[in-house]
């Protein structure tokens, strides 16, 4: 990365599309894909999307520079955001800068974690954030650009450069973007943000340092108990970071699975309690050396198995996706937290 942080504007030669793509690659500003040039005019329009938001940001690790709204907007422009997306980007950034998120650890780790961002509230529809079919996938500009903007900010202002500061053994596709909305309209439960103390008419971004979604396929079960039994088995793996029982995870129920659970009177609380109790990794699945390592870190088995979640409250339940007998498990980095931040609408 060119360390030109002392200069807020850069005068660079006029160049065509290919020249610009080569230029940003040489600067180390890109995730590998082409970027939109952050001209003064386009950045000013982006900043207008967050007009009235004067709350300062803390320094972003590891470079420990305090971003300006303008430099943040430049990254949002480069990511392909519309100005209306910018408040959601800022909320996601505020979330990852909360100390319990452990941004430095999540950027530096060899683990494959990426910042997951789930959007709740009316902003999902205002921005056309995909909450349904293929919500973790491609094809929706808001999902793609909001998550990408957050990553570019962490790269360009934060300094989380891959293979330099970001030491992830493999990385993951989620490091390009990992943003979706809760499918509140097809959820039988209260929206995630309402269960966490926000009003239904507020828009909220929840971030967690996460692995990409792991599929929970269950086409056979016809009861809530059957589904949860399958899910508990899918979650009980000795190879996700959750094995250390140090952090949260998300269960994202597909709407069909959610409907079955609700029909059988499974509340979110009951789901959390069941998975906390039943998702255990048997000792027989873990080498003696690895068991010793868990125990050195203060994680001990109960009877013949290790629990996966520290507490039932560390199991976060949401509903998203479209038709199909699938749900998703999203394990976290471990030493992180799920942080929810209200999106500030632009001043009138």
Partner 1 sequence: MRIVNPTYGIAPQGEGSATAGPVDWMNDPIVLFSNNKPNAKELLLGVRDRLSSIRRVDNVDYIAKGSASQPAPPEMLNEVVRKYRIALLALGD
- Among 15, 26, 33, 164, indicate the residue that binds partner 1 (CB under 8 A): 15
13 binds partner 1 (CB under 8 A): yes
Q: Which stretch binds partner 1 (CB under 8 A): 39-47, 171-179, 192-200, 270-278?
A: 39-47
Among positions 73-132, residues that touch partner 1 (CB under 8 A) are: 73-75, 77-78, 102, 104-105, 109-110
Distances (CA, A) of 144 to 2, 76, 278: 26, 11, 35
CA-wise closest residue to 273 among 225, 237, 342, 206:
225
Per CB under 8 A, the segment of 13-21, 90-98, 257-265, 270-278 that binds partner 1 is 13-21
Q: Which of 83, 87, 334, 345 binds partner 1 (CB under 8 A)?
A: 334
Q: Provide the β-strand partners of residue 181.
A: 119
Longest dimension (CA), the chain: 68
Question: Looking at beta carbons only, is 197 or 298 nearer to partner 1?
Answer: 298
Scanning 72-80, 115-123, 192-200, 262-270 for contacts with partner 1 by CB under 8 A, the matching segment is 72-80
Q: How far is CA 167 from the centre of its chain?
A: 19
Contact pick of 26, 33, 64, 200 for partner 1 (by CB under 8 A): 64
CA-to-CA distance for 96 and 333, rounded, in angstroms? 13
Q: How many amino acids of this chain bind partner 1 (CB under 8 A)?
A: 52
How near is the Cβ of 201 to partner 1 at its closest, in Å?
A: 34
Site for partner 1 in 141-200 (CB under 8 A): 152, 156-157
| CA nearest to 249, candidates 297, 286, 214, 203 | 214
- Shortest distance (Å) from residue 289 CB to partner 1: 9
Minimum Å distance from CB 40 to partner 1?
Answer: 6
Sign of CA dihedral 75, 77, 79, 83: positive
For 228-249, b/e burial (b = at least 16 CB within 10 A) is bebbbebbbbbebbbbbbbbbb
38 binds partner 1 (CB under 8 A): yes
DSSP symbols for 147-170: HHHHHHHHHHTT---BTTTB--SS
Distance CA 220, CA 314 (A): 28
Closest approach of partner 1 to the CB of residue 317, in Å: 24
- Closest approach of partner 1 to the CB of residue 197, in Å: 25
235, 240, 243, 249 alpha-carbon torsion, rounded to 10°: -60
| Interface positions with partner 1 (CB under 8 A) | 1-15, 29, 37-40, 43, 59-60, 63-68, 70-71, 73-75, 77-78, 102, 104-105, 109-110, 152, 156-157, 241, 246, 293, 297, 333-336
């Amino acid at each position: 990365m060119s360390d030109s942080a002392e200069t807020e504007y850069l005068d660079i030669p006029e160049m065509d599309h290919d020249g610009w793509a080569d230029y940003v690659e040489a600067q180390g500003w890109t995730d590998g894909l082409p970027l939109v040039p952050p001209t003064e005019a386009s950045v000013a329009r982006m900043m207008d999307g967050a007009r009235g938001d004067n709350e300062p940001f803390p320094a972003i690790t590891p470079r420990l520079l305090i971003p300006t709204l303008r430099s943040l907007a430049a990254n949002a422009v480069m990511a392909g955001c519309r100005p209306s997306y910018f408040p959601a980007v800022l909320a996601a950034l505020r979330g990852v800068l909360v100390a319990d998120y452990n941004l430095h650890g999540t950027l530096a780790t060899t683990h494959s974690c990426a910042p997951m961002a789930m959007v709740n509230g009316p902003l999902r529809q205002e921005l056309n954030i995909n909450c349904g079919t293929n919500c973790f996938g491609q094809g929706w500009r808001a999902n793609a650009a909001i998550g990408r903007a957050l990553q570019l900010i962490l790269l360009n202002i934060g300094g989380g450069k891959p293979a330099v500061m970001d030491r992830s053994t493999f990385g993951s596709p989620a490091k390009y973007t990992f943003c979706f909305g809760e499918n509140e309209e097809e959820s039988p439960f209260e929206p995630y943000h309402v269960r966490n103390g926000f009003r239904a008419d507020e828009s909220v971004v929840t971030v967690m340092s996460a692995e990409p979604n792991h599929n929970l396929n269950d086409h056979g079960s016809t009861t809530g108990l059957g589904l949860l039994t399958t899910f508990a088995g899918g979650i009980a793996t000795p190879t996700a970071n959750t094995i250390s029982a140090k952090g949260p995870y998300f269960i994202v129920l597909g709407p069909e699975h959610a409907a079955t659970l609700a029909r059988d009177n499974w509340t979110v609380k009951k789901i959390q309690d069941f998975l906390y109790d039943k998702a255990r990794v048997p000792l027989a699945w873990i080498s003696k050396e690895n068991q010793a390592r868990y125990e050195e870190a203060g994680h001990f088995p109960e009877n013949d198995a290790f629990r996966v979640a520290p507490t039932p409250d560390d199991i976060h339940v949401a509903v998203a996706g479209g038709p199909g007998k699938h749900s998703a498990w999203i394990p976290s980095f471990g030493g992180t937290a799920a942080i929810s931040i209200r999106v500030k609408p632009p001043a009138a």
